[in-house]
Structure 1
């Protein structure tokens, strides 16, 4: 489907076009709960903050209550006798999570939260030795990643200010160039122990060239891991084929599994069953068949489940399972195609208003270098105050990041062209025009 250029003959014409586009290219909004509008003339909010917290699927409540009912009816026997038995419950998530990120089921598990999983993975894969001690991240990494790698450096007795390398864009640019990352790894790679970048940058919305950077890092002798918090459920991934060493992602953003929802983990099959890799272990790290022998020594399986520690939290896993079923039903390829159309439409609307206002879109213009997020730099005033005005005066929910970034995420599962139009109109009405 080709999306026509945004109409410029007034708000009525623009709104009519948005409605026509929604009729021709509908998403799956009917499968989700949408918050009511806090202001403006529409009953529902224009929700463009799914990159921070995804909307609740309508099926989640029913499915979660069914798991709760099993507890009420069966007590402890629910581990084996529930309709979805609790003991192997995490296995229900394995295959769909693997399909989502382009992995083998043996390489994929859902457990814990994102930063906990990154630490567990770095126990195995950050092994500084000799001059090879450095950790490479992007300067605009999510703060939790920065804290995590700095604490790992300190844990190994290293100075984090010297150990952690923060890659920055070229002067006057907003995003990293793949060629610059690869050039750094080619020149400095013999000092790098670990590359840990965000697959899609949380602040700018830039989609990194995961296969190219992975290849460059591994050629330099480094281990390459990825934080896919903003990539999983947003862009197509092929972690196994790209030869990624490890990855982790959360499921409360594009995967719509609820606030603080569980994280996914990938470890490439070449590392599975390697007895030389150190790992923290717990009850669920041992093979399932021998778990209830209560033996004092773990017998870990040759799968990523060896990285599990605790038994799975069933009521937290239920919403992840429900969401993954949605992604299996719709398919990432179809979602990506709609994402390109929807985000391109919003970009054209923003182009019209940023030309006359102190606003700049900092997300790459090349659709292949971004997911479904457009970040706007606000030239003056408080970005938090601006986001509040958008919400309370216009019913538009976007995400503010200090000091000056407003993030809009037209999520292809449930966002609409009309929401994009509302967001652009609201931004235009809220930010005064200036002479340029």
Structure 2
């Protein structure tokens, strides 16, 4: 007889099925359990050693999780009846859709009873022979009147089962702080006892929000690395240990497990990091009154070079880019010089431009003579003394180009007062 492991029920109970033939993994079976006829999913074949290990799994009630004493054991024996047909699977899926509606109606019926209980989920057995209600509560609840109302409403046998907060997270399912589905909702077979000592040995922050799961209890993953940390702590003194010395007490401030070293506080020196293998030597030195000399850390140069890590084509990429950029810059500069030469050949040299700025009158005369006398200098009357002032020099823009003239009118100084010396001089000039 071959034995197979199967899963049945919403709380994911484990069962052992005996069958002469072969059952494929993932096949749906019709089995009979202590609850009655129901569907189960085959996980795989197990040997005698695996069966003995599953038999040793303890119930969650033994861990003090608030489960009822009459709860199902972790592993039960199932009786194989037949393989489930497509109609049986479709009927079971229709039951799952109907269970959502029943859960809402059951919560409405619970309101007038004022019972301190929380309905979690509902489950139909095969052919609707029994209806299970799973609830959680911090204390015992007298729900006899509530059961009668449920039986009158749904016309079937009703059974209420109390579960703990960890089983509540197992049934409802969810996402843990790590971003993955909760371990209890898809692969964890039993709840192991977890204490705060495991958290302290792993040097984790004692913050309930960070070390608790969605069930409100300590996360199950705290026990996964407990054995490794327990072995790492061997040979280390407890944090806070005092070493009496003639110069004062040396206190072990903390343990750094990744580097396997201790942080010791020495009076007058502060914290000193000491490797685990040198702690006995350090203790002998300080207890005898000596002074511990902190060895200098030697920085070892890496054996690998850049040429070993990166290929030559990647190393020369930056050099080629710089050379191409310089070549392009030189070509642009040559084009700019040729363009400037063509434009300067048509125009006057830059020296004449500066002469234009400093001698505007001379520029007007030369411009008039260059056009074969077409333009003649026409004298204008000076209206005010301010008009007789020489024009201000304009600063040349960088690159030798002239700045464009401003379109707005400059502010002028106020005219001289009547009767003043400046006014008399202006009249005399006129």
TM-score interval, normalised by the smaller of the two chains:
under 0.3
- Output the TM-score relative to the length of structure 1: 0.20
Higher relative contact order (CA 8 A, sep 6+): 1
Larger Rg: 2
TM-score for the superposition, normalised by structure 2: 0.20
